[in-house]
Amino acid sequence: MENDNRSRIRFNPAGLVAHIIIDPPPPGGEIVIDGHVVDMSYSGIKIRLCEPLGQSIEEAELRISIILPESGVPVSIHGTIKHIQEEQECGLQYDAERHQEHELDDLMFECVKLAPQPEAEPIHEV
């Protein structure tokens, strides 16, 4: 069993699409990589990409663009790649210095509604 030492709880907002944009764009134009959110928290997000992530952008600064599911408001979050798994799944850490906590609150508030909720245990009378 893998030991998870995260300080923030992660949740899975089912069906949420994200776009990773290299910021600033490399010579030759902007690169946008589409993907689906696997899980997220107040400190980072894991995205399964629709195409492999090039090794040349591992240390690049990125923007993660998401359309909030309920309100339809677009949100951009700046971050960096924390890890890459099998070239099509990556973990990104938000750049806390570029965001105020309330900006992430808006994203979390809407996205947590998409997460599957655990079923409540039935109450047994004694």
Q: How far is CA 47 from CA 27, 62, 126, in A?
A: 25, 13, 46
CATH superfamily, with its number, for domain 17-112: predicted glycosyltransferase like domains (2.40.10.220)
pLDDT of amino acid 43: 87
Contact of 82 with 93, CB cutoff 8 Å: yes
Domain positions in the chain:
17-112
Q: How far is CA 86 from CA 13, 38, 90, 118, 121, in A?
A: 22, 14, 9, 30, 37
pLDDT of amino acid 28: 73
Q: What percent of the chain has pLDDT over 90?
A: 13
CA atoms within 13 A on the CB side of 114: 22
Tokens 């047994």 sit on residue: 124
**Number of residues written out for the chain:** 126
Q: Which residues of the chain have pLDDT under 50?
A: 1-3
pLDDT of amino acid 121: 59
Measured CA to CA, the distance from residue 18 to residue 107 in angstroms comes to 12
- Which of 113, 98, 111 lies closest to 46 in space, CA to CA? 111
